[in-house]
Homo-oligomer: A and B are copies of this chain.
Amino acid sequence: MKPIKSVCVVGAGAIGSLFAGHLGSQVSARVLVRRQEHEDRLNREGLKVSGKSDLQTPIQASMDPEQLGDVELIIIATKATAVEAAAQRLSGYFPDATVMTVQNGLGCEDVVAQYGDWPIISAITFMSGVRHSDVHVEYELDTETWLGPWAGRGASREMTQQVAELIKRSGLKAKAFDDVRPAQWSKLVFNSVVNSIGAATNLPHIKDFAKREKAADLGQLVFDMMDEGKRVAAAQGIELYQDPWEMNVKAVRHGQTGDDEYAHVFSMLDDVRSKRLTEVDWLTGAIVREANKLGIPAPIHEALYGLIKGIEHSWQQEDEGRRT
Protein backbone atom coordinates (compact mmCIF):
# COMPACT_ATOMS: atom_id res chain seq x y z
CA MET A 1 0.00 0.00 0.00
CA LYS A 2 1.37 3.38 -1.04
CA PRO A 3 1.49 6.20 1.47
CA ILE A 4 -0.87 9.05 0.58
CA LYS A 5 1.18 12.03 -0.63
CA SER A 6 -1.45 13.81 -2.70
CA VAL A 7 -5.23 14.09 -2.77
CA CYS A 8 -7.57 15.30 -5.47
CA VAL A 9 -10.99 16.65 -4.54
CA VAL A 10 -13.78 16.67 -7.14
CA GLY A 11 -16.71 18.90 -6.26
CA ALA A 12 -15.39 21.79 -4.20
CA GLY A 13 -18.68 22.72 -2.53
CA ALA A 14 -18.79 23.12 1.25
CA ILE A 15 -17.81 19.50 2.04
CA GLY A 16 -15.21 19.21 -0.75
CA SER A 17 -13.62 22.51 0.27
CA LEU A 18 -13.45 21.42 3.91
CA PHE A 19 -11.58 18.25 2.84
CA ALA A 20 -9.20 20.08 0.48
CA GLY A 21 -8.55 22.91 2.93
CA HIS A 22 -7.71 20.53 5.77
CA LEU A 23 -5.93 17.71 3.91
CA GLY A 24 -3.71 20.28 2.20
CA SER A 25 -2.07 20.89 5.57
CA GLN A 26 -0.71 17.31 5.46
CA VAL A 27 -0.34 16.35 1.80
CA SER A 28 -0.45 18.00 -1.62
CA ALA A 29 -4.06 19.09 -2.23
CA ARG A 30 -5.48 19.31 -5.72
CA VAL A 31 -8.94 20.26 -6.91
CA LEU A 32 -10.57 19.36 -10.22
CA VAL A 33 -12.77 22.33 -11.10
CA ARG A 34 -15.21 23.21 -13.89
CA ARG A 35 -14.72 26.96 -14.22
CA GLN A 36 -11.65 28.93 -15.33
CA GLU A 37 -12.20 31.59 -12.68
CA HIS A 38 -12.38 28.93 -9.96
CA GLU A 39 -9.09 27.41 -11.20
CA ASP A 40 -7.35 30.79 -11.32
CA ARG A 41 -8.44 31.91 -7.88
CA LEU A 42 -7.59 28.63 -6.13
CA ASN A 43 -4.12 28.54 -7.75
CA ARG A 44 -3.49 32.15 -6.85
CA GLU A 45 -5.05 32.44 -3.39
CA GLY A 46 -5.36 28.89 -2.07
CA LEU A 47 -8.24 27.95 0.25
CA LYS A 48 -9.07 29.72 3.50
CA VAL A 49 -10.88 27.75 6.23
CA SER A 50 -12.49 29.77 9.03
CA GLY A 51 -14.90 28.82 11.82
CA LYS A 52 -13.97 25.70 13.77
CA SER A 53 -10.58 25.69 11.95
CA ASP A 54 -8.24 28.51 10.98
CA LEU A 55 -6.23 27.51 7.91
CA GLN A 56 -4.82 28.98 4.72
CA THR A 57 -3.96 26.10 2.36
CA PRO A 58 -2.20 26.20 -1.00
CA ILE A 59 -4.18 24.37 -3.70
CA GLN A 60 -3.27 23.07 -7.14
CA ALA A 61 -6.40 23.46 -9.24
CA SER A 62 -7.19 22.63 -12.84
CA MET A 63 -10.13 22.02 -15.15
CA ASP A 64 -8.07 19.28 -16.84
CA PRO A 65 -7.43 16.07 -14.82
CA GLU A 66 -4.24 15.48 -16.79
CA GLN A 67 -2.71 18.65 -15.35
CA LEU A 68 -3.20 17.36 -11.80
CA GLY A 69 -0.57 14.58 -12.12
CA ASP A 70 -1.12 11.35 -10.20
CA VAL A 71 -2.68 11.16 -6.76
CA GLU A 72 -3.24 8.34 -4.27
CA LEU A 73 -6.66 9.48 -3.13
CA ILE A 74 -9.61 11.04 -4.94
CA ILE A 75 -12.49 12.41 -2.92
CA ILE A 76 -15.73 12.82 -4.89
CA ALA A 77 -17.72 15.34 -2.87
CA THR A 78 -20.30 16.45 -5.42
CA LYS A 79 -24.05 16.12 -4.88
CA ALA A 80 -25.27 12.61 -5.74
CA THR A 81 -26.90 14.02 -8.88
CA ALA A 82 -23.45 15.10 -10.21
CA VAL A 83 -21.43 11.94 -9.42
CA GLU A 84 -21.84 10.43 -12.86
CA ALA A 85 -20.52 13.57 -14.59
CA ALA A 86 -17.61 13.66 -12.10
CA ALA A 87 -16.71 9.99 -12.67
CA GLN A 88 -16.82 10.54 -16.44
CA ARG A 89 -14.24 13.30 -16.12
CA LEU A 90 -11.94 11.06 -14.03
CA SER A 91 -12.22 8.11 -16.43
CA GLY A 92 -8.80 7.10 -17.80
CA TYR A 93 -6.87 9.15 -15.23
CA PHE A 94 -5.36 8.50 -11.79
CA PRO A 95 -4.71 4.76 -12.29
CA ASP A 96 -3.11 4.35 -8.84
CA ALA A 97 -5.77 6.19 -6.90
CA THR A 98 -8.38 5.02 -4.46
CA VAL A 99 -11.72 6.84 -4.78
CA MET A 100 -13.72 7.89 -1.73
CA THR A 101 -17.38 8.85 -2.30
CA VAL A 102 -19.04 11.15 0.26
CA GLN A 103 -22.66 11.45 -0.90
CA ASN A 104 -26.00 11.23 0.78
CA GLY A 105 -27.81 7.99 0.15
CA LEU A 106 -26.99 4.87 -1.74
CA GLY A 107 -25.67 3.90 -5.12
CA CYS A 108 -22.97 6.44 -6.00
CA GLU A 109 -20.21 3.83 -5.65
CA ASP A 110 -21.85 1.73 -8.37
CA VAL A 111 -21.86 4.73 -10.69
CA VAL A 112 -18.16 5.47 -10.06
CA ALA A 113 -17.20 1.81 -10.57
CA GLN A 114 -18.54 1.98 -14.13
CA TYR A 115 -15.95 4.58 -15.10
CA GLY A 116 -12.69 3.13 -13.74
CA ASP A 117 -10.94 0.35 -11.83
CA TRP A 118 -10.22 2.40 -8.73
CA PRO A 119 -10.79 0.67 -5.38
CA ILE A 120 -13.60 2.46 -3.59
CA ILE A 121 -14.15 3.72 -0.05
CA SER A 122 -17.75 4.47 1.01
CA ALA A 123 -17.98 7.49 3.24
CA ILE A 124 -20.76 9.46 4.86
CA THR A 125 -20.14 12.70 6.62
CA PHE A 126 -21.96 14.51 9.39
CA MET A 127 -19.80 17.63 9.27
CA SER A 128 -21.13 20.80 7.71
CA GLY A 129 -19.78 24.06 6.40
CA VAL A 130 -20.73 27.21 4.58
CA ARG A 131 -19.01 28.00 1.31
CA HIS A 132 -18.53 31.76 1.32
CA SER A 133 -16.63 31.95 -1.99
CA ASP A 134 -14.46 29.90 -4.34
CA VAL A 135 -11.56 30.40 -1.91
CA HIS A 136 -13.23 30.56 1.51
CA VAL A 137 -15.17 27.92 3.43
CA GLU A 138 -16.40 28.11 7.02
CA TYR A 139 -16.16 24.92 9.12
CA GLU A 140 -19.44 24.74 11.04
CA LEU A 141 -20.44 21.37 12.55
CA ASP A 142 -17.23 19.51 13.50
CA THR A 143 -18.83 16.07 13.50
CA GLU A 144 -17.37 12.83 12.13
CA THR A 145 -16.94 11.37 8.69
CA TRP A 146 -17.49 7.62 8.68
CA LEU A 147 -15.75 5.46 6.12
CA GLY A 148 -15.29 1.82 5.21
CA PRO A 149 -14.33 -0.34 2.21
CA TRP A 150 -17.22 -0.37 -0.29
CA ALA A 151 -19.11 -3.67 -0.15
CA GLY A 152 -18.56 -3.96 -3.94
CA ARG A 153 -15.03 -3.44 -5.24
CA GLY A 154 -13.82 -1.97 -1.97
CA ALA A 155 -10.44 -0.54 -1.01
CA SER A 156 -8.39 -2.52 1.50
CA ARG A 157 -8.98 -2.18 5.20
CA GLU A 158 -5.47 -0.78 5.57
CA MET A 159 -6.01 1.91 2.95
CA THR A 160 -9.30 2.86 4.61
CA GLN A 161 -7.48 3.12 7.97
CA GLN A 162 -4.77 5.26 6.38
CA VAL A 163 -7.37 7.64 4.92
CA ALA A 164 -9.14 7.92 8.29
CA GLU A 165 -5.80 8.68 10.03
CA LEU A 166 -4.93 11.31 7.42
CA ILE A 167 -8.33 13.01 7.82
CA LYS A 168 -7.91 13.08 11.59
CA ARG A 169 -4.31 14.41 11.38
CA SER A 170 -5.58 17.21 9.17
CA GLY A 171 -7.95 18.46 11.89
CA LEU A 172 -11.23 16.83 10.89
CA LYS A 173 -13.00 13.98 12.68
CA ALA A 174 -13.18 10.51 11.13
CA LYS A 175 -13.96 6.93 12.07
CA ALA A 176 -13.07 3.84 10.03
CA PHE A 177 -15.43 0.85 9.97
CA ASP A 178 -14.85 -2.61 8.52
CA ASP A 179 -18.45 -2.45 7.33
CA VAL A 180 -19.87 1.03 7.01
CA ARG A 181 -23.30 -0.14 5.85
CA PRO A 182 -24.94 -0.13 9.30
CA ALA A 183 -23.94 3.54 9.62
CA GLN A 184 -24.73 4.32 5.99
CA TRP A 185 -28.19 2.76 6.27
CA SER A 186 -28.97 4.56 9.53
CA LYS A 187 -28.37 7.86 7.80
CA LEU A 188 -30.06 6.61 4.60
CA VAL A 189 -33.32 5.68 6.33
CA PHE A 190 -33.31 8.89 8.34
CA ASN A 191 -32.60 11.08 5.32
CA SER A 192 -34.89 9.23 2.93
CA VAL A 193 -37.82 9.89 5.25
CA VAL A 194 -37.27 13.38 6.60
CA ASN A 195 -36.02 14.79 3.29
CA SER A 196 -38.90 13.50 1.19
CA ILE A 197 -41.57 14.41 3.74
CA GLY A 198 -40.00 17.84 4.20
CA ALA A 199 -39.88 18.42 0.45
CA ALA A 200 -43.48 17.25 -0.11
CA THR A 201 -44.91 19.34 2.73
CA ASN A 202 -42.64 22.37 2.30
CA LEU A 203 -41.74 21.98 5.98
CA PRO A 204 -38.29 22.33 7.59
CA HIS A 205 -37.39 19.97 10.45
CA ILE A 206 -39.95 21.33 12.93
CA LYS A 207 -41.02 19.53 16.11
CA ASP A 208 -44.10 18.08 14.35
CA PHE A 209 -41.75 15.55 12.74
CA ALA A 210 -41.46 13.86 16.15
CA LYS A 211 -45.07 14.38 17.32
CA ARG A 212 -47.27 11.30 17.27
CA GLU A 213 -50.13 11.84 19.69
CA LYS A 214 -52.95 11.53 17.15
CA ALA A 215 -53.21 9.31 14.06
CA ALA A 216 -53.02 12.30 11.70
CA ASP A 217 -49.93 13.77 13.40
CA LEU A 218 -47.01 14.17 11.04
CA GLY A 219 -44.69 12.22 13.38
CA GLN A 220 -46.89 9.16 12.87
CA LEU A 221 -46.14 9.21 9.15
CA VAL A 222 -42.43 9.80 9.85
CA PHE A 223 -42.43 6.87 12.29
CA ASP A 224 -44.29 4.49 9.96
CA MET A 225 -42.08 5.38 7.00
CA MET A 226 -38.89 4.89 9.06
CA ASP A 227 -40.24 1.58 10.24
CA GLU A 228 -40.68 0.58 6.60
CA GLY A 229 -37.08 1.61 5.82
CA LYS A 230 -35.80 -0.29 8.84
CA ARG A 231 -37.54 -3.43 7.62
CA VAL A 232 -35.77 -3.11 4.25
CA ALA A 233 -32.42 -2.75 6.06
CA ALA A 234 -33.18 -5.74 8.30
CA ALA A 235 -34.09 -7.89 5.30
CA GLN A 236 -30.59 -7.28 3.95
CA GLY A 237 -29.09 -8.44 7.24
CA ILE A 238 -28.02 -4.91 8.15
CA GLU A 239 -28.25 -4.08 11.82
CA LEU A 240 -28.58 -0.31 12.00
CA TYR A 241 -25.85 1.59 13.84
CA GLN A 242 -28.30 4.20 15.13
CA ASP A 243 -32.07 4.21 15.25
CA PRO A 244 -33.39 6.70 12.63
CA TRP A 245 -36.41 7.62 14.78
CA GLU A 246 -34.11 8.48 17.70
CA MET A 247 -31.95 10.54 15.32
CA ASN A 248 -35.13 12.39 14.33
CA VAL A 249 -36.34 12.98 17.88
CA LYS A 250 -32.89 14.12 18.97
CA ALA A 251 -32.54 16.45 15.99
CA VAL A 252 -35.82 18.29 16.61
CA ARG A 253 -35.48 18.36 20.41
CA HIS A 254 -31.86 19.39 20.65
CA GLY A 255 -31.53 21.46 17.50
CA GLN A 256 -29.37 24.54 17.51
CA THR A 257 -31.95 26.59 19.36
CA GLY A 258 -34.82 24.19 20.03
CA ASP A 259 -37.01 26.72 18.20
CA ASP A 260 -39.05 25.78 15.11
CA GLU A 261 -38.33 29.19 13.67
CA TYR A 262 -34.72 28.11 13.17
CA ALA A 263 -35.56 24.55 12.12
CA HIS A 264 -33.19 22.92 9.63
CA VAL A 265 -34.23 23.20 5.98
CA PHE A 266 -33.47 19.81 4.43
CA SER A 267 -31.34 19.84 1.29
CA MET A 268 -34.20 18.24 -0.67
CA LEU A 269 -36.60 20.99 0.38
CA ASP A 270 -33.97 23.57 -0.54
CA ASP A 271 -33.64 21.91 -3.95
CA VAL A 272 -37.42 21.83 -4.48
CA ARG A 273 -37.75 25.49 -3.51
CA SER A 274 -35.02 26.34 -6.04
CA LYS A 275 -36.40 23.89 -8.63
CA ARG A 276 -33.08 22.00 -8.66
CA LEU A 277 -33.02 18.24 -9.31
CA THR A 278 -33.08 16.54 -5.87
CA GLU A 279 -31.14 13.56 -4.53
CA VAL A 280 -34.37 11.55 -4.19
CA ASP A 281 -33.12 8.79 -6.53
CA TRP A 282 -30.28 8.09 -4.07
CA LEU A 283 -32.41 8.36 -0.94
CA THR A 284 -36.11 7.38 -1.08
CA GLY A 285 -35.65 5.89 -4.56
CA ALA A 286 -32.71 3.77 -3.35
CA ILE A 287 -34.85 2.22 -0.62
CA VAL A 288 -37.63 1.53 -3.14
CA ARG A 289 -35.13 -0.23 -5.42
CA GLU A 290 -33.67 -2.34 -2.60
CA ALA A 291 -37.17 -3.24 -1.39
CA ASN A 292 -38.21 -4.29 -4.89
CA LYS A 293 -35.06 -6.45 -5.27
CA LEU A 294 -35.89 -8.21 -2.01
CA GLY A 295 -39.63 -8.44 -2.73
CA ILE A 296 -40.47 -6.44 0.40
CA PRO A 297 -43.40 -3.98 0.43
CA ALA A 298 -42.46 -0.31 0.77
CA PRO A 299 -45.67 1.55 -0.14
CA ILE A 300 -44.91 4.73 1.82
CA HIS A 301 -41.47 5.06 0.21
CA GLU A 302 -43.04 4.41 -3.17
CA ALA A 303 -45.62 7.12 -2.53
CA LEU A 304 -43.09 9.73 -1.43
CA TYR A 305 -40.71 8.78 -4.24
CA GLY A 306 -43.52 9.18 -6.77
CA LEU A 307 -44.49 12.55 -5.30
CA ILE A 308 -40.97 14.00 -5.42
CA LYS A 309 -40.37 12.69 -8.95
CA GLY A 310 -43.73 14.21 -9.88
CA ILE A 311 -42.62 17.57 -8.50
CA GLU A 312 -39.30 17.38 -10.40
CA HIS A 313 -41.04 16.36 -13.59
CA SER A 314 -43.39 19.33 -13.42
CA TRP A 315 -40.40 21.72 -13.74
CA GLN A 316 -39.10 19.86 -16.75
CA GLN A 317 -42.51 20.35 -18.31
CA GLU A 318 -42.36 24.04 -17.49
CA ASP A 319 -38.92 24.18 -19.15
CA GLU A 320 -40.22 22.39 -22.20
CA GLY A 321 -43.14 24.79 -22.22
CA ARG A 322 -40.73 27.71 -22.18
CA ARG A 323 -38.65 26.28 -24.99
CA THR A 324 -41.57 25.75 -27.34
Which residues of A are interface residues toward B (Cβ below 8 A)?
197, 200-203, 206, 208, 215-218, 220-221, 224-225, 260-261, 285, 288, 292, 299-300, 302-307, 309-311, 313-314, 317, 321
A271 nearest CB across to chain B (Å):
14
Contacts A306-B216, A306-B221 hold; do A201 and B300 have CB atoms under 8 A apart?
no
CB distance from A195 to the nearest CB of B (A): 13
Q: How far is A141 from B314 in the complex, measured between Cα atoms in Å?
A: 27
Find out whether the CB atom of B311 lies under 8 angstroms from the CB atom of A201. Answer: yes
B221–A310 touching, CB < 8 Å = yes
A300 is contacted by which of B215, B216, B288, B299 (Cβ under 8 Å)? B299
Residues of B within 8 Å of A216, CB to CB, are 285, 305-306, 309
Which B residues touch A302, using CB under 8 A?
Answer: 221, 224, 300
Whether the pair B224, A313 counts as a contact (CB closer than 8 A) is: no
Task: Please indicate the chain B residues that have their CB under 8 angstroms from the CB of A221 in the complex.
Answer: 302-303, 306-307, 310
Q: Are A304 and B305 in contact (CB under 8 A)?
A: no
Considering the chains assembled together, what is the distance between the CA atoms of A310 and B81 in angstroms?
28
How far is A313 from B217 in the complex, measured between Cα atoms in Å? 9
Please give, as numbers and ranges, the residues of chain B lying within 8 Å of A304 by CB-CB distance: 303
Q: In the assembled complex, how far is the CB of residue A192 from the closest CB belonging to chain B, in whole angstroms?
A: 13
13 new A-B contacts at CB < 8 Å, known A203-B311, A203-B314: A197-B307, A200-B201, A202-B311, A206-B317, A208-B310, A216-B285, A216-B305, A217-B306, A221-B302, A224-B303, A299-B300, A300-B300, A307-B307
Residues of B within 8 A of A261 (CB): 321
CB nearest neighbor in B for A298: B299
State which of B201, B220, B311 has its C-beta within 8 Å of the C-beta of A314.
B201
- A253 CA to B220 CA in the complex, in Å? 37
Q: Once bound together, how far apart are the Cα atoms of A201 and B220, in whole Å?
A: 20
A218 touches B309 (CB 8 A): yes
Q: How far is the CA of A166 from the CA of B305 in the complex (A)?
A: 48
Q: A216-B285, A314-B206 are in contact. Are A201 and B307 (CB under 8 A)?
A: yes
> Which residue in B208, B218, B310 is a CB contact (below 8 Å) of A201?
B310
Can you show 19 pairs from A to B with CB atoms below 8 A apart?
A201-B307, A201-B310, A201-B314, A202-B311, A202-B314, A203-B310, A203-B311, A206-B314, A208-B314, A208-B317, A215-B288, A217-B306, A218-B306, A221-B307, A224-B303, A260-B317, A261-B321, A299-B299, A303-B303
Query: How close is A277's CB to chain B, nearest CB, in angstroms?
Result: 13
With A and B bound together, what is the CA distance between A224 and B288 in angstroms? 15
- The reply to whether A200 and B260 contact each other, CB–CB distance below 8 Å, is no
Q: Which residues of B contact A203 (CB under 8 A)?
A: 310-311, 314
* Residues of B contacting A306 in the complex (Cβ-Cβ under 8 angstroms): 216-218, 220-221
A317 to B197, CA, bound (A): 17
Question: Max chain B CB contacts within 10 Å: which of A201, A220, A292, A321?
Answer: A201
Contacts of A218 in B (CB 8 A): 306, 309-310, 313
